[in-house]
């Protein structure tokens, strides 16, 4: 269970970040399911990237453990959802 907890935190906070980014980007015609899926994928990816960066003891600070997983999830989910929204908006213009 200890190995799954960071992934669960990253997935949940990624979905929250995806929904937040989707709400901020009104021009992108994205369904809620698309926002949540891209947020979860981005949240897990962002959380893993942040965890690998923070594995160096010289860099690690306050963003270790569940707080780091949550921050990485929200940021990763929001960024990937914004990218997916921009791509979908570009595709809809054609």
Tell me the whole-structure pTM to 2 decimals: 0.85
Q: Is the pLDDT of residue 84 over 80?
A: yes
Residue 32 DSSP code: H
pLDDT tens-digit profile of 2-34?
A: 789 989 999 999 999 999 988 887 766 788 899
In angstroms, the CA 71 to CA 53 distance is 13
> What is the rounded average pLDDT for all residues in the chain?
85
Q: What integer pLDDT is reported at residue 16 of this predicted model? A: 94
In sequence order, which residues have a C-beta less than 8 Å from that of residue 36 and are 6 or more positions away?
A: 15, 18, 19
In sequence order, which residues have a C-beta less than 8 Å from that of residue 50 and are 6 or more positions away?
A: 63, 68, 69, 71, 72, 75, 76
Share of the chain above pLDDT 90, in %: 36
Q: What integer pLDDT is reported at residue 76 of this predicted model? A: 93
């Amino acid at each position: 269970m200890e190995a799954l907890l960071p992934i669960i935190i990253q997935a949940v906070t990624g979905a929250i970040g995806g929904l937040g980014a989707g709400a901020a980007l009104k021009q992108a015609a994205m369904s809620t399911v698309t926002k949540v899926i891209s947020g979860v994928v981005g949240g897990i990816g962002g959380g893993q990237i942040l965890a690998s960066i923070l594995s160096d003891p010289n860099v690690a600070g306050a963003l270790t453990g569940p707080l780091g997983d949550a921050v990485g999830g929200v940021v990763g989910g929001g960024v990937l959802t914004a990218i997916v929204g921009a791509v979908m908006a570009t595709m809809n213009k054609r």
